[in-house]
């Protein structure tokens, strides 16, 4: 029997996604050859990666922060990618943060 997990995003994770989208748009605005599809492709890659969490969250690596229950989903995109930090609580996957792999870390 396969367990179906409910995936929820904390407000902080929603704000992270908005911040990442804004950053991608600003980056394209500053580019001499902007690709206006890039911000949407990045969000689509993150969304597609998070689909995995609804059926196989334990396949993701353990995170080195938090209370020992935290895990990280790596979402490849371009030359780097994104990291989705989450915890599994019973049959619910709670996403607490989303960041670009080149950001300092989750703690603000």
Reported as a single tens digit per residue, the pLDDT across 68-88 is 679 999 999 988 899 999 999
For residue 106, the model assigns a pLDDT of 47
Name the token pair of 46.
């993150």
Bridge partners of 56, per DSSP, are none
Domain spanning 6-100: CATH 3.40.50.11540? no
Kindly give, in sequence order, each residue whose CB lies less than 8 Å from that of residue 38, ignoring residues fewer than 6 positions away.
24, 27, 28
Q: Which residue has the tokens 């935290």?
A: 70
What is the pTM (predicted TM-score) of this model?
0.87
pLDDT at 108: 42
Neighbours of 87 (CB within 10 A): 18
Quick: pLDDT tens for 4-51.
999 999 999 999 999 999 989 998 999 999 999 999 999 999 999 999
């Amino acid at each position: 029997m396969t367990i179906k997990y409910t995936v929820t995003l904390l407000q902080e994770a929603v704000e992270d996604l908005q911040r990442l989208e804004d950053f991608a748009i600003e980056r394209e605005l500053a580019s001499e050859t902007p690709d206006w599809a890039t911000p949407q492709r990045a969000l689509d890659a993150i969304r597609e990666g998070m689909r995995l969490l609804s059926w196989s969250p334990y396949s993701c690596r353990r995170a080195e922060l938090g209370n020992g229950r935290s895990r990280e989903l790596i979402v490849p995109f371009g030359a780097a990618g994104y990291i989705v930090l989450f915890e599994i609580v019973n049959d619910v996957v709670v996403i607490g943060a989303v960041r670009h792999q080149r950001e300092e870390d989750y703690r603000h």
